[in-house]
Structure 1
């Protein structure tokens, strides 16, 4: 039997987990984007300072003939240090580019529709890998947030370009990027290098300054014994924001920069340097404005960030019941003028009330279209719902038994048990019948659960834990 068949996850879920480890792993020592940043903020900056000190020493003795041997040694050490610094910088860039490429591979398709489906699958898989408020959920959510934001940022950017929501000189050059969905290889490559990668990098590295020692001291304390997810006081928050901004921008400009051109064609080199320099500048502008909110450009990553702060919250009072509040918060901020109204609407149209992977409990219909006196379970599996409160779902139970062959269905608001009025419809069933239904659907159902017999939603993590249930995005024929 192959190791593949023994793995508890299907290939796609394995790929998502591997990608998570390349961004923000559970354990250190295997190489990741966040480890690269921590290394840069500690060891690399020390080496940079040492190199600058050597340069000052060399400057003092450069005209002293008696110190030529020392000057030669210093020059050699400076050269070695610079080579090491450049080697590390290029390695960080290479890892970041590899991650961006993997993200694109997992969430971009040949057509617009396929891209929406793959992005929904990616986001849904991330959500289904979480357990709700169980255990050390805050650390899990912290690891998942950057990559979740990245996919949302890509999809929001597509809508921005389609609707021309934000006027920006760099973005305006990519209005034709939708051509990549018409088998236009030129635009596929151009979009990936010049727009896709900077957008993903911006989402991943938006708060990378929090990996600096100064930020970690505020979050975890000098001895590392504080709860980093606790509520900070106002002064701590202000200091943390300044530190985060400073070190994030330093990392983007100095810690990353642009890739090295390999080749010997001058015109090609000039184009390469120009394209990557402009992409790097765009990345920095994007992240800078997400902090400072001056041009509106930063809302491309800020809106997904706000949404993800609810959907993958690290707060102690996190509950799945609050997940639709991510949509509502964006809606409220847009109404108040705190966010771009049109871009916010684009985002809300993309995600709807219920996040991908959310467990919907609903009242099914019979062949005549009449509501049954029971409820079933479904999982949100599609972006761009026609109505925000009516999610595109995969039905996963039939007559209270879990199935793998459930249909895709839009769950109407009038049948979704998340809404209190619909739960009241089922109260007429009586306690005995509801207890029977719940015991069929939940192995750990007990009489203590009788107070909540009609569920607002359900937790699909355990269901998704079975490999045979991990392909809920496949369409049944």
Structure 2
């Protein structure tokens, strides 16, 4: 299937991915801005330290007019450098803030139901744009992780506030929501726009920022020396020895916080009112403290608010893995790993269960194979393809999907379907029963559903899932989230 022009939404997602972790000659993505900050910051600091030393030396002397002029010059130079640094950080803040607003506009609607639909579309689109085999899996997955994780974190934040647990009881969040009930939170956007706007500015945007910045410290030169080796020759996606992993985690946290505080910081107030400026600065300082608190508490969250970004981080590291062990077929086993983390005390079981309630076992955009029912309600003698396209399944083991084939033919306008265990080829018992079909019949099915002979040779005769990325390459197949019927 030749790749055509993408839908508007797919183009927006691709643009957003580039703004976050893209690499270009302009060096203007969030990642490239962080790398530039890490490279320039020691130089800035060295200059400031030298100026501070010279100013202190002159201050201890009872100098003449010439010394006074020299002191004024040095102090002016010091202020200019600090001012330049502040303007640069303010530009980076505005860039990050606008990305957060864009994420919200693409993933949230006028109602809770519309927000869930748009978030499913974002998560599914990211998954379907990522290769599931080949040499570029790690590279593309690494670039896609921050956006994917931030969307999951938003939906987790909402659900924890609806359930009125953990994050809803955090001091900063509570100061915004007050005594708002879970039910009232769910309809807040429709019935209390002021609180909703305040919640977006003071909680949601800081939460997105924390999620997007969580691993940016990995790109500090000191961290990259561990990841790639001193001469840059090592595979950056290899499994690290325990000591190197610990060192990397420490550097990542330290440098992520440094980039947050010094590289982004609080925005500059624009206006002439001292009272408004003071109020603005207090509010922005609180947000900065909240982001730092999320980042710090995510290191060892136990049962605390750090789980809000830690659990999506673990989930995303499996779904969009950068390791050699990445295996697309095993993605629906993601909660086995998350539950093991929870059992070890690495994260909260309650938050893991909450995320599972939202996502189900099958990630958005995952290719599901199922056996359709015939007119008598019996299982047919062939399988069809579907793609997971909705969040909040009634049963986490039964994904909500959009049919991608009918009668062994690819279609653009399939129906939504719940893939229950008895028709899902991911279900071992179902697959065993279906395996009774002759090899010739299975080959015949595969011939119709696979696009070329080379691909057929690599596919299982009885596929537990299918790789839907090529199907998604056609713009008519990118409308998996529009209304049917």
What interval of TM-score do these two structures reach, taking the shorter chain for normalisation? over 0.9
Partner residue in 1 for 2:421: 413
- Paired with 1:446 and 1:45, the residues of 2 have a C-alpha distance of 53
How many equivalent pairs are there? 472
Matches within 5 A, 1:172-191: 172-175=174-177, 176=180, 177-191=185-199
Question: Residues 322, 27 of structure 1: CA spacing in aligned structure 2 closer, same or farther, 3 A cutoff?
Answer: farther
Partner residue in 2 for 1:200: 208
Q: Name the Cα RMSD after superposition.
A: 1.9
Partner residue in 2 for 1:322: 330
Question: Residues 446, 89 of structure 1: CA spacing in aligned structure 2 closer, same or farther, 3 A cutoff?
Answer: closer
Q: Give the CA deviation at 1:305.
A: 0.7
Q: Give the CA deviation at 1:416.
A: 0.9
Q: Which range moves more in the overlay, 218-227 or 197-206? A: 218-227
Matches within 5 A, 1:119-198: 119-166=119-166, 167-175=169-177, 176=180, 177-198=185-206
SS of match in other structure, 1:324: helix
Which one of the candidate residues 461, 464, 475 is aligned to 1:456?
464
Structure 1 residue 54 corresponds to structure 2 residue 51: yes
- Paired with 1:363 and 1:80, the residues of 2 have a C-alpha distance of 69
Matches within 5 A, 1:385-400: 385-400=393-408
Q: Give the CA deviation at 1:294.
A: 5.8
- Paired with 2:377 and 2:273, the residues of 1 have a C-alpha distance of 68
- Paired with 1:74 and 1:447, the residues of 2 have a C-alpha distance of 69
Q: Give the CA deviation at 1:363.
A: 0.5
- Paired with 1:344 and 1:451, the residues of 2 have a C-alpha distance of 33
- Paired with 1:242 and 1:327, the residues of 2 have a C-alpha distance of 27
Q: Which range moves more in the overlay, 260-269 or 381-390? A: 260-269
Partner residue in 2 for 1:354: 362
- Paired with 2:302 and 2:380, the residues of 1 have a C-alpha distance of 53
Q: Which range moves more in the overlay, 421-430 or 177-186? A: 177-186
- Paired with 2:165 and 2:358, the residues of 1 have a C-alpha distance of 15
- Paired with 1:349 and 1:447, the residues of 2 have a C-alpha distance of 35
Contact 2:301 2:310 survives alignment (8 Å)? no
Partner residue in 2 for 1:3: none
- Paired with 1:95 and 1:350, the residues of 2 have a C-alpha distance of 30
Contact 1:396 1:404 survives alignment (8 Å)? yes
Partner residue in 1 for 2:295: 287
Structure 1 residue 68 corresponds to structure 2 residue 68: yes
- Paired with 1:297 and 1:28, the residues of 2 have a C-alpha distance of 39
- Paired with 2:55 and 2:154, the residues of 1 have a C-alpha distance of 48
Q: Give the CA deviation at 1:449.
A: 3.6
Partner residue in 1 for 2:22: 25
- Paired with 2:45 and 2:186, the residues of 1 have a C-alpha distance of 42
- Paired with 2:202 and 2:12, the residues of 1 have a C-alpha distance of 25
Partner residue in 1 for 2:218: 210
Contact 1:435 1:450 survives alignment (8 Å)? no
Contact 1:408 1:475 survives alignment (8 Å)? no
SS of match in other structure, 1:453: coil
- Paired with 2:378 and 2:288, the residues of 1 have a C-alpha distance of 57
- Paired with 1:38 and 1:107, the residues of 2 have a C-alpha distance of 28
Question: Residues 252, 369 of structure 1: CA spacing in aligned structure 2 closer, same or farther, 3 A cutoff?
Answer: same
Q: Give the CA deviation at 1:451.
A: 8.2
Structure 1 residue 78 corresponds to structure 2 residue 78: yes
Question: Residues 174, 162 of structure 1: CA spacing in aligned structure 2 closer, same or farther, 3 A cutoff?
Answer: farther
Deviation string, structure 1 residues 397-435 (Cα, Å, up to 9, x no partner): 001100011100111111111122212222222111111
Contact 1:37 1:251 survives alignment (8 Å)? yes
Structure 1 residue 372 corresponds to structure 2 residue 380: yes
- Paired with 1:50 and 1:284, the residues of 2 have a C-alpha distance of 27
Partner residue in 1 for 2:11: 14
- Paired with 1:287 and 1:387, the residues of 2 have a C-alpha distance of 32
Which one of the candidate residues 25, 39, 42 is aligned to 1:42?
39
Matches within 5 A, 1:251-290: 251-290=259-298
- Paired with 2:342 and 2:300, the residues of 1 have a C-alpha distance of 17
Question: Residues 23, 134 of structure 1: CA spacing in aligned structure 2 closer, same or farther, 3 A cutoff?
Answer: same
Question: Residues 189, 346 of structure 1: CA spacing in aligned structure 2 closer, same or farther, 3 A cutoff?
Answer: same
- Paired with 1:435 and 1:445, the residues of 2 have a C-alpha distance of 11
Contact 1:156 1:300 survives alignment (8 Å)? yes
Task: Give unpaired runs (5+ residues) of structure 2.
Answer: none
Question: Residues 387, 150 of structure 1: CA spacing in aligned structure 2 closer, same or farther, 3 A cutoff?
Answer: same
